[in-house]
Amino acid sequence: QSRLVESGGGLVQAGGSLRLSCAASGLTSSIYPMGWFRQAPGKERELVSAISSNSGGTYYTDSVKGRFTISRDNAKKTVYLQMNSLKPEDTAVYYCAASRPYFTRVVTTTADYDNWGRGTQVTVSS
């Protein structure tokens, strides 16, 4: 498995923007479906967005549609989450995760992700 390292989190005012990055390192020649998850205190970890291996399919949870955009650069082994119009409700630890290379479609089942980053804190002040 590749190591996944998130970056780009921080403190931002409501209405602001952040761009999260998830870089994969290690020995791999495969491309994986990727997802961004988040977990706030007292809440279950939820899938925020996901992208297929070839970027042909994307998924967004209803609460972020129109505000967040997932993208990837396979040459750089990096997945991004552009977050605009941030709300205090977006405050959480954000995790990137990789599924398996044999999945050709966007993966929306948490159990199908088996490689996780450590997470990056996003705090949105009001």
The pLDDT tens digits of the residues spanning 26-42 come to 867 788 999 999 999 99
Which tokens belong to 109?
């089942």
* Residue 2 pLDDT: 85
- Per the prediction, the chain carries an average pLDDT of 95
pLDDT recorded at residue 57? 96
Q: What is the token pair recorded at 105?
A: 């479609």
First to last CA, the chain: 39
Model pLDDT for residues 78-120, shown as the tens digit of each residue: 999 999 999 999 999 999 999 999 999 999 999 999 999 999 9
The stretch 41-58 carries a mean pLDDT of: 95
For the chain, helix, strand, coil in percent to 5 are: 10, 45, 45
Question: Are the CB atoms for 39 and 17 separated by under 8 Å?
Answer: no
